[in-house]
Amino acid sequence: MGYFESRDWRFLSFNVENLFLYLDHGLTQDPKTLTKEQWRRMSSALVENKPLQQVLELARAIEDTNPDFVMLCEVGGRESLANFSHYFLEDRYVPHLLEGNSDRGIDLGFLVKRGLPFKYDMVSHRNRPLEFQYPHEKQSHETGYRASRNHRFSRDVVELRVFENEHPVLVLINVHLKSPLDKDRIDPGGRDRRRAECDMLAQIYKEARQETADLAGHVVPFIVGGDFNGVAYGPAADPEFEALATTDLRCALDVAAVPEDDRFTWCYFYGNRPGMFRQIDYVFVSPELVSRIDSHMTWVYRYKDELGVNRLAPRNANEKRVLPSDHFPVVVTLTQVPQTSKPSLE
């Protein structure tokens, strides 16, 4: 039995909402002692750092859950991730990040607990064509008005391949699909682009499954997590996620039988209307890991107040704004593989 099978593991999928942490001269004092003005002057970058109190609460969420692997969305580049790990998590995690396609500079990254006996390889799909055109582009191409354009992921799909004794034992795929924002007014809700990205994600997953199985000589387990920007699983899934249903992936919260009311990872408020609470952040697992999901230790984390008590769900936009992120992280715990007893010689 290998090391990955021999112990429990915890994974966290976390959209940290614009985690920019540029520190011109590093930190020479405990960040908890800094004033807002001192924090503001830590960076001369054009983009503002994330508010200090929110950064501290992000770190607290990670400390509370104590994951081995963290899959992060909306990180402001390698420097920000390295600073977050070094100054706010006591350097207990090794940062891994490849720059993606985001025009806002928000990338996909990983934090891996330091000291694990693994090697890692990252694979980016930022330059992979989506084989997709908007309707007006198809029409232009058909009439010969303009050449076709190859669209790519709005951010990226990034693999972290985990190796033990030179053989792959696990693959993490981190995802941040197209948002509903439609600034060009050509794709209401971003659904066409999100469908194309989901279709390619499913293809990448199937290809990586085959490739790693060929390398290892057996099927390698996968975890696919991130911000899908829509309801991606179950009977109420949005139509752009049909390709996910063609895979063998299972939603970890569904396997763990987490109540529907406890699964929301995002909320939205518009005017005086009631808030909208939805699960749009997911951790999916391949069949090899379904039996290892610990249903008692798999949940959606809720942020805590000063006394360590779970905050109530926000009731309005103002209460939402004080949270460290507009998303709640998904926590998934895997148990060790039971050892099979050896037959008696008597």
Half-sphere exposure of 129 (CA within 13 A, CB side): 6
Residue 171 lies in a domain: yes
Residue 340 lies in a domain: no
Residue 142 lies in a domain: yes
Sorted by sequence, the CB contacts under 8 Å of residue 307 that are 6+ apart come out as none
Q: Indicate the SS3 state at residue 96.
A: strand
Residue 2 lies in a domain: no
Place of tokens 């179950």: 234
Residue 281 lies in a domain: yes
Instruction: Identify the H or E element spanning 213.
Output: helix 191-216
Residue 33 lies in a domain: yes
pLDDT given at position 150: 79
The pLDDT tens digits for 124-150 are 999 999 988 887 777 666 666 655 567
Which of 281, 187, 156 lies closest to 231, judged by CA?
A: 281
pLDDT given at position 210: 97
Domain holding 42: CATH number?
A: 3.60.10.10
Domain that holds residue 218: 9-334
Which of 281, 184, 170 lies closest to 226, judged by CA?
A: 281
Token readout for 135 is 């309707």
Give the Cα-Cα-Cα angle 59, 227, 96 (nearest 5 degrees).
55
The pLDDT tens digits for 252-298 are 999 999 999 999 999 999 888 888 999 999 999 999 999 999 999 99
Residue 342 lies in a domain: no
Residue 294 lies in a domain: yes
pLDDT given at position 320: 94
Per the prediction, the chain carries an average pLDDT of 93
Task: Kindly state the average pLDDT of the residues 71-79.
Answer: 98
Start-to-end C-alpha separation, the chain: 25
pLDDT given at position 345: 46
Q: How many domains does the chain have?
A: 1
